[in-house]
Amino acid sequence: MKKTTADPLRASAEAQLAQTAPALLPRRTTDALLHELQVHQIELEMQNEQLNQAHLAMEESRDRYADLYDFAPVGYVTLTADAQIAEINLTGATLLGVARQQLLTKRFSTFIVHADQECWSRHFTSVKNHVGRSTVELAMQRGDGTVFHALLDCAHQKVGAGGTAIRIALSDISERKRLEAERNQALATAEQANRAKSTFLSSMSHELRTPLNAILGFAQLLETGTPPPTPLQQRNIGQILKGGWYLLSLINEILDLALIESGKITLVREPVLLSEAMLECRAMIEPQAQHRGIGLVFPQFDTPCFVNADPTRVKQVLINLLSNAIKYNRQDGTVAVECTPRPPDVLRISIRDNGAGLSAEQLAQLFQPFNRLGMETSAEEGTGIGLVVTKRLVELMGGALGVESTVGVGSVFWIEFALAPPPQLAVHKVGPAAVIQPAVPDGTPLHTLLYVEDNPANLELVEQLVARRPDLRLLTATDGNLGIQLARLHLPEVILMDIHLPGISGMDAMKILRADAATAHIPIIAISADALPYNIRKAVDAGFFDYHTKPIKVAEFMKSLDAALHLAGKE
């Protein structure tokens, strides 16, 4: 039988018991005591084993902690109250590029680049004096002098009896800073490209519209001249006007598309009374429909219906869709406009024609710029831009545009806008409307106009328009500085001002005249080939009485001129 570790103990205990009290303790009691001693010995051995296991576990845990601490993805640094390095993990030492033992007792500021030293000093003082955490980004340098960008997550801690330590989590953010710099450079480049694009658009608008102003302006003069043109001349003039206005519409579409793509277009979202917009669109589109024998069917609005959209752009969208429905319809066809509420708060406007319809292949290419779907050789004019502009305008207004079509049956183009509550109208007193009289009776005092314009054709056009009005006389100047001098000398009732002038611009000339008490009251009308909407708003906001884009529409221009003269007469 194998002897246990308790045998020697038992033998010793039995011998002792036999000597001290052999007669007093029976054999059974001795066995019991020996058994208790044996159990106690086993318990001690188990406790020792447990202590050994706990010690081993603690050592393993300490090793794991040391590994986690040393090889953490960020550097851990402990600074004393005077900013010396008291402790640093292996990652931190690697980031600083110096052996760990060599870093101890070094000042942390040794590794801050000179330009960020003051920032670090302020931050360290703030952290040391306030319990809590804060972060700062600094440029740091390694032991070899190479620079990297670091994020310092700092915490103030109390240690010992009134002692202070600063714990820092140190991260290398050089890659993030590089990406940020690249992104900022890309944004700056994009912004520069947008500015260049805007400048190009403004220049292109001016260069294309200036010759068109002469073509359409003089054609309108011929059309309304005395004596009236012969029937043949009238047809020829009509062809000139038709081609000129069509070319202008193409320029407008290209500029609209470019503005949308550059993000420069600005929309005003407000409640738009749909019945009123429909009436205006119908009035503009009916001549085209009558010319082609197309019947128009518009909905009746029993109650006012408002949609959330830009008033001008929603009419542009409707006119474009109506014009296409008429243009690509069959002879004596019909265009029907329907309005259908859709839950929860959307109105769908459908424009239905019974033209040739579109195939699935054509539908897939419908909204590609400059793609006319095989209609390039047809008699119908177009560029394939209108629908693209229409779709993007609708989407910019928060709406949607779609199409359903069947070959041989026709197409339905629909747009959806959010319904809007009626606007709250302010109640105010309305004064008498200004009466604009295009024809001035004999005996009316002569009014002086000043036209500042460097283009001879534009000058001649306005000269001929003014020549038809016996109540007007015209002064002209070919640059802004001369225009300012003539305005101060003659004090004309109204000034017509081009925007792009040699030397000083029309905008600057207007501001100078506005700042002069002698000329501040004179209405100034801008006449410019720059048709970009934000430039027009900028000019009107700056103080122009009105703004007319070249080519001018003679009737609208004369109406604006009469309004300015009326205002000047009240001064």
Q: Write the CATH number for 100.
A: 3.30.450.20
Q: Is residue 147 part of a domain?
A: yes
Strand 524-528 and strand 133-141: the pairing is unpaired
Q: Write the CATH number for 538.
A: 3.40.50.2300
Among residues of the chain, what percentage have pLDDT more than 70? 83
**What are the tens digits of pLDDT across the range 36-72?**
777 788 878 788 777 777 777 676 666 666 667 777 8
Q: Write the CATH number for 291.
A: 3.30.565.10
The 10 Å CB-count burial string (b at 16+, else e) for 439-458 is ebeeeeeebbbbbbbebeeb
**What are the tens digits of pLDDT across the range 437-448?**
334 455 556 889
Asked if pLDDT for residue 5 goes beyond 60, the answer is no
Among 33, 48, 70, the domain boundary falls at 70
pTM across the whole model:
0.45
Asked if pLDDT for residue 435 goes beyond 70, the answer is no
In degrees, rounded to 5, the angle at the alpha carbon of residue 450 between the alpha carbons of residues 471 and 531 is 110
Same domain membership, residue 162 and residue 194: no
Q: Is residue 432 part of a domain?
A: no
Using pLDDT thresholds of 50, 70 and 90, give the confidence band for residue 33. Answer: confident
As given in the structure block, the two tokens for residue 156 are: 């103030």
Among 262, 286, 319, the domain boundary falls at 262
Q: Which carries the bigger pLDDT value, residue 199 or residue 302?
A: 302
Quote the CA–CA distance of 558 and 296 in Å, as a whole number. Answer: 33
Give the per-residue pLDDT at 27.
Answer: 56
Count other Cβ atoms within 10 Å, centred on residue 432. 5
Same domain membership, residue 185 and residue 239: yes
Same domain membership, residue 168 and residue 112: yes
Same domain membership, residue 453 and residue 355: no
Same domain membership, residue 465 and residue 509: yes
Return the minimum-mean-pLDDT range out of 119-133, 334-348, 390-404, 483-497: 119-133
Please give the residue range of the domain that contains residue 11: 7-70
Q: Which carries the bigger pLDDT value, residue 22 or residue 107?
A: 107
**What are the tens digits of pLDDT across the range 8-23?**
655 665 565 556 555 5
Average pLDDT along the chain: 81
Same domain membership, residue 346 and residue 256: no
The domain tally of the chain equals 5
Give the per-residue pLDDT at 503.
Answer: 79
- Distance (Å) of CA 31 to CA 11, 13, 388: 11, 10, 107
Asked if pLDDT for residue 191 goes beyond 50, the answer is yes
DSSP class of residue 177?
H
Same domain membership, residue 274 and residue 254: no
Among 262, 280, 315, the domain boundary falls at 262
Average pLDDT value for residue range 261-283: 82
As given in the structure block, the two tokens for residue 182 are: 């690249």
Give the per-residue pLDDT at 198.
Answer: 63
Average pLDDT value for residue range 267-271: 85
SS3 of 265-312? CCCCCEEEEHHHHHHHHHHHHHHHHHHHCCEEECCCCCCCCEEEECHH
Asked if pLDDT for residue 504 goes beyond 60, the answer is yes
Asked if pLDDT for residue 332 goes beyond 80, the answer is yes
Same domain membership, residue 104 and residue 61: no
Q: Which carries the bigger pLDDT value, residue 376 or residue 319?
A: 319
Same domain membership, residue 317 and residue 227: no
Give the per-residue pLDDT at 243.
Answer: 78
Q: Which carries the bigger pLDDT value, residue 263 or residue 466?
A: 466
Using pLDDT thresholds of 50, 70 and 90, give the confidence band for residue 312. Answer: confident
Q: What is the DSSP string of 425-457?
A: PPP----PPPP--SSPPTTPPPEEEEEE-S-HH
**What are the tens digits of pLDDT across the range 271-281?**
988 988 888 88
Q: Which carries the bigger pLDDT value, residue 4 or residue 147?
A: 147
Q: Write the CATH number for 213.
A: 1.10.287
Give the per-residue pLDDT at 528.
Answer: 87
Return the minimum-mean-pLDDT range out of 33-47, 166-180, 244-258, 435-449: 435-449
Same domain membership, residue 61 and residue 163: no
Average pLDDT value for residue range 261-289: 83
Quote the CA–CA distance of 116 and 1 in Å, as a whole number. Answer: 82
